Amino acid sequence: MGDLPLRHGTPRGASGHALSERGIAGIVSIEPGACPAASGDLKPYLKMPMMVLWGDYVDTSPRWAPRLKACREFAEAATPAGGRVQNIVLPELGIKGNSHMLMQDDNSLEPADRLLAWIDKNIGRGQG
């Protein structure tokens, strides 16, 4: 997978300005600290598919529930504008019990399989 030009985390610079989408085939973000603001400049995020992956218990956590809500709002704003943003909440797919470190959990292959399937479907191998 080293040939896929994906970046980890939210695509924002230290100053909070959106980064250039040049050379980025897609964005995979696993339980990010933030998503771009739904009321902000969506243009950089409309040219590439984005997946935001969430583990279990996020919706009940005072720390993570607002982040999930903001990412859902971002997806709701970006999608009608032509964006392809997908929030994947594992418990909503029947995959339960994952912590914030979901790739280290006992069932880590299930989220990994979802992630790889999303990349294959939305980006493909070697594109970018």
- DSSP per-residue codes, 28-88: EEES-S----TTS--GGGSSSEEEEEE-TTGGG-TTTHHHHHHHHHHHHHHTTTT-EEEEE
What is the structure's pLDDT at 13?
Answer: 42
pLDDT at 126 over 80: no
Per residue in 38-73, pLDDT (tens digit) is 999 999 889 899 999 998 899 899 999 999 999 999
Name, in order, each residue with C-beta under 8 angstroms of 78's C-beta and a sequence gap of 6 or more: 38, 42, 45, 46, 50, 85
Contact present, 37 and 74 (Cβ < 8 Å): yes
Distance in angstroms (rounded) separating the CA atoms of residues 128 and 71 = 24
pLDDT at 11 over 60: no
Q: Supply the pTM of this predicted model.
A: 0.78
β-strands 6-8, 84-89 pairing: unpaired
H or E segment at 110?
helix 109-122
Beta bridge partners of 7: 27
Residue entry with tokens 């929030």: 87
Distance in angstroms (rounded) separating the CA atoms of residues 48 and 78 = 11
Per residue in 75-114, pLDDT (tens digit) is 999 999 999 999 999 999 998 877 777 777 788 888 888 8
